[in-house]
Structure 1
Amino acid sequence: MIYAIFVGLSLDLKKGLIMGMLTGITLGIFTEWMQAYVPGRQTDIYDGLADVCGTLCGLLAIYLVSTRLSDT
């Protein structure tokens, strides 16, 4: 979804992926930090790393599909 927003802003594939990566990682870190202030929740570095890995896997999938579609 983040990538789609940046592509909608007329960014090319590379810039869209970079902006999506930076935004996704920032949001993942921010949500982990905010959990420290929610009663009954705790901040966990491994959950933050899972957020980052999920962002990178999603962007990799977008990249692979986009390059396949542009080749045809």
Structure 2
Amino acid sequence: MLNQEMRTVTMSRSDMLRVQQALTHLVIEYQREANDPDTTDDCREIVKRSLAMWENIRNDFKWQMNEQDPEEFRQ
């Protein structure tokens, strides 16, 4: 199935760090919204599902970056 194919995106490490930073920003914003007392219950439920999705994407991206870095630079 096409959506299950593994794909390769070629970019510089500095661009990858910017993508990782953007993913972190998304996660932090969703966490903030989820914890905001003014957030409605419906919105909070949507935010929590979105947060879980973006955390998974960010963690996978971070893992792949770590695997591609030389060993002395790995986290």
**TM-score class, shorter:** 0.3 to 0.5
Larger Rg: 2
* TM, length-normalised to structure 1: 0.46
* TM, length-normalised to structure 2: 0.45
